[in-house]
Amino acid sequence: MGFLSNLFSKKTLPNADLSVLKADMHSHLIPGIDDGSKSMDETIALLSKYKQLGYKKVITTPHVMSDYYKNTPEIILSGLEEVRSELKRINLDIEIEAAAEYYFDETLFQTLKENKLLTFGGNYALIEFSFTTPPSGVETLFYEMRIGGLKPIIAHFERYQYFFGSVEQARAWRENGLFIQLNINSLSGHYGLAVKKQAEMLIDAGLVDFLGTDCHRIDHLNLLQNNLNLPYLQKVLELPLLNSTL
């Protein structure tokens, strides 16, 4: 009877407490400038949900991609000020800052050379790659960033197909002064089972520095809320994450 009782009474883990993170550092909340929030009303709804989830600060990171989203610091920071004005008007108490998620393409070296990278925290810069094609020449970029005092963060490392099944590239980059960001919703299987497995491997190896929502719409935050009892979310929150330092 004891065995059968244990078999049919599967324990449910308590929900993870996201307030320990304090800050999210990967999202798309500036209205109308990328594939994230489409309106100020949507942005405010998202920020209200962040507060409900326990976040004190959101550092939003619009896409910068030469072929699709030609955002400049002026466009991003102007949008940020509009959001801040609306938060003040409605008296919603959550802090918002802005940087960018930079796609590794032919324009990124020039942006770096012109000192136009938007950074956050202690000079962190969020960088993403193609999901299917390994980046070429990226070590030169990272070298130039580091000698310029910047700290590269690899966005959603677990989603790059060419790294599946190994965490050695993440380990090597961290040993060379880079940082690894993981999307929380990867742990729910939202991006596929291969991504979920890769995320779990990174957590098991202790190779995660930042957690991000990568929120583009309310569905992402609802999914996160519905999966707060995932074992690997509990496990990653036990790592020495850096979100709370931002």
Write the pLDDT tens digit of every residue in 171-181: 999 999 999 99
Rounded Cα–Cα distance for residues 168 and 199 (Å)? 13
Rounded Cα–Cα distance for residues 151 and 223 (Å)? 30
- Residue 219: the pLDDT is 98
- Residue 9: the pLDDT is 43
- Residue 8: the pLDDT is 44
Mean pLDDT by 10 residues, the chain (246 residues): 47 90 98 98 98 98 94 98 98 98 94 96 96 94 96 98 98 98 98 98 98 98 98 98 98
Out of 1.10.10.10, 3.40.50.970, 3.10.100.10, 3.20.20.140, select the CATH number for domain 18-245.
3.20.20.140
> What share of the chain in percent tops pLDDT 70?
96
Q: Which amino acid is at 23?
A: A
- Residue 7: the pLDDT is 44
